[in-house]
Amino acid sequence: MRLVIARCQVDYAGRLTAHLPMATRLLIVKADGSVLVHSDGGSYKPLNWMSPPCTLVAGVDADGRAEWVVEAKSGDTLRILMHHVLSDSSYDLGIDPGLQKDGVERHLQELLADHPTSLAEGLSLVRREFPTAIGPVDLLCRDGLGATVAVEIKRRGDIDGVEQLTRYLDLLNRDPLLSPVRGIFAAQEIKPQARVLATDRGIGCVTVDYDQLRGMDDPTARLF
């Protein structure tokens, strides 16, 4: 991981355009290739970012000023014009063991693994916690036509969950034995912004009823 604190200007161009005027910010370049731009406020979310796969080229602009150009596979670009670098450090964080899910979320994953057709008709489970280089996919499934489906499960579905599934899909679709892979984002509650982002990226959204799933798994519930 590379951490840079710099006075910089940031311009994003793609499906929309965004401009961050010159100010001091934290730039993070992660081992998976993602680039994030943070301020010292505004909670934990970056002001702007580029998800992998993408390429970062450090160079100079037409006026000889230091500049990073980050380009995504889609052609979207993030240009970071450096005025002054205050700090530039790199760290090897090693392999992360992954997020330890809480009891409800893990149980939800187990229930959906047992009842994949709750997510989509004809869906069948291939494997839970399917391993990838950037972490395990909650459920890897096949649909009724034999196509691969990656499922990310959350209690509350927000934009970060969609971004996580997007990274998994980008990686899985590079495997010719799995491609093409589509995604399903499943949660007890999905925030409107997350649903819009998922739809824009071709990811299906499913709101799941935890209590109903528990009833399906409880033999006594079928007596009533």
Q: What is the CATH number of the domain that holds 108?
A: 3.40.1350.10
Query: Quick one: 75 and 134 in the same domain?
Result: no
Of the residues 63, 90, 117, the one at which a domain ends: 90
Of the residues 60, 90, 120, the one at which a domain ends: 90
* pLDDT given for residue 148 in this prediction: 97
* pLDDT given for residue 216 in this prediction: 64
Query: Quick one: 23 and 70 in the same domain?
Result: yes
pLDDT digits (tens, 9 = 90+) for 179-203: 999 999 999 999 999 999 999 999 9
Query: Quick one: 109 and 61 in the same domain?
Result: no
Percent of the chain with pLDDT over 70: 92
Rounded to 5°, the CA angle 110-123-210 comes to 35
| 146-150, 209-213, 217-221: least confident range | 217-221
Query: Quick one: 80 and 163 in the same domain?
Result: no
Of the residues 61, 90, 119, the one at which a domain ends: 90
Whether pTM exceeds 0.95: no
Residue 63 lies in a domain: yes
Query: Quick one: 122 and 198 in the same domain?
Result: yes
Residue 188 lies in a domain: yes
Rounded to 5°, the CA angle 98-174-205 comes to 65
* pLDDT given for residue 100 in this prediction: 55
Residue 213 lies in a domain: yes
Range of the domain at 196: 103-219
Residue 7 lies in a domain: yes
Query: Quick one: 107 and 206 in the same domain?
Result: yes
Residue 95 lies in a domain: no
Query: Quick one: 52 and 121 in the same domain?
Result: no
- Average pLDDT for residues 133-162, to the nearest whole number? 94
Query: Quick one: 176 and 210 in the same domain?
Result: yes
Q: How confident is the model at residue 101 (pLDDT cuts 50, 70, 90)?
A: low
Q: Is 36 helix (H, G, I), strand (E, B) or coil?
A: strand
Give the number of domains in the chain: 2
Average pLDDT score over the chain: 89
* 2-13 vs 181-190, strand pairing mode: unpaired
Residue 49 lies in a domain: yes
* pLDDT given for residue 99 in this prediction: 57
* pLDDT given for residue 220 in this prediction: 35
pLDDT digits (tens, 9 = 90+) for 118-146: 999 999 999 999 999 889 999 999 999 99
Question: How many Cα neighbours within 13 Å face the side chain of 153?
Answer: 28
Residue 98 lies in a domain: no
Residue 224 lies in a domain: no
Distances (CA, A) of 204 to 16, 101, 178: 22, 22, 18
> What's 86's domain CATH number?
2.70.180.20
- Do 28 and 100 touch, CB atoms closer than 8 A? no
Query: Quick one: 65 and 124 in the same domain?
Result: no
CA dist., res. 115 & res. 213, Å (int):
8
How many C-beta neighbours within 10 Å does residue 171 have? 20
